[in-house]
């Protein structure tokens, strides 16, 4: 009888797991929000947007104070920042990079080109808006948008996280 009382209830372990899991989830979400690492992908644009993205990463805007760091590998990145129109050759590479990123991942369409093909609208080799190829979380219009617009987009992503 005494032994029976000491034994854990059958569902006790499950209950403990349930209590622990949200705490762990919250901790992981907290860490992710404090280190939103980005991967910059120039699809095939004019480099106007590239300059603005790189400017946002320089000490003038200093996004590193928010934990935003540009990474070289898709496997280390949470956020994919795509600029330029996606052409036939880049589509395959874009999909490879997107699938290499760990979940949960977020995508920013930076500039008019990935949003609506922009000035490359009639180009024979451009395969369409970015959101027809991969899901897009935040759109940043402009040709090119300013570095502040990228920071604003990052805030929107952080709210989604
Ligand atoms: S949106 Fe404008 S600046 Fe950016 S890649 Fe396209 S043409 Fe160049």
**φ, ψ of residue 87 in degrees (nearest 5):** -100, 180
Q: Which CATH number fits domain 35-160: 3.40.50.12280, 3.60.15.10, 3.30.70.1530, 3.40.120.10?
A: 3.40.50.12280
What lines the ligand 1 site, CB under 6 Å? 45-46, 48-49, 83-84, 111-113, 118-119, 143-144
Give the residue extent of every domain in the chain: 35-160
Tell me, in angstroms, the distance from the centre of ligand 1 to residue 8's CA: 63
pLDDT digits (tens, 9 = 90+) for 8-51: 555 656 655 655 678 888 888 888 888 899 999 998 889 999 99
pLDDT digit string, tens, across residues 79-106: 999 999 999 999 999 999 999 999 899 9
Query: For 57, what's the count of Cα atoms within 13 Å in the CB-facing half-sphere?
Result: 16
């Amino acid at each position: 009888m005494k032994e029976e009382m000491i034994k854990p209830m059958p569902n006790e372990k499950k209950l403990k797991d349930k209590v622990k899991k949200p705490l762990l989830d919250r901790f992981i979400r907290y860490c992710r929000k404090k280190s939103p690492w980005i991967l910059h992908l120039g699809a095939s644009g004019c480099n106007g947007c590239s300059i603005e993205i790189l400017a946002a990463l320089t000490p003038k805007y200093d996004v590193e104070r928010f934990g935003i760091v540009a990474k070289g590998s898709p496997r280390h990145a949470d956020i994919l920042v795509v600029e330029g129109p996606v052409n036939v050759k880049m589509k395959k590479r874009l999909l490879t990079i997107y699938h290499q990123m760990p979940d949960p991942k977020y995508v920013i369409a930076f500039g008019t080109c990935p949003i609506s093909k922009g000035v490359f609208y009639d180009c024979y080799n451009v395969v369409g808006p970015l959101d027809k190829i991969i899901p897009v979380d935040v759109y940043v219009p402009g040709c090119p948008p300013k570095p502040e617009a990228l920071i604003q987009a990052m805030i929107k992503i952080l709210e989604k996280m």
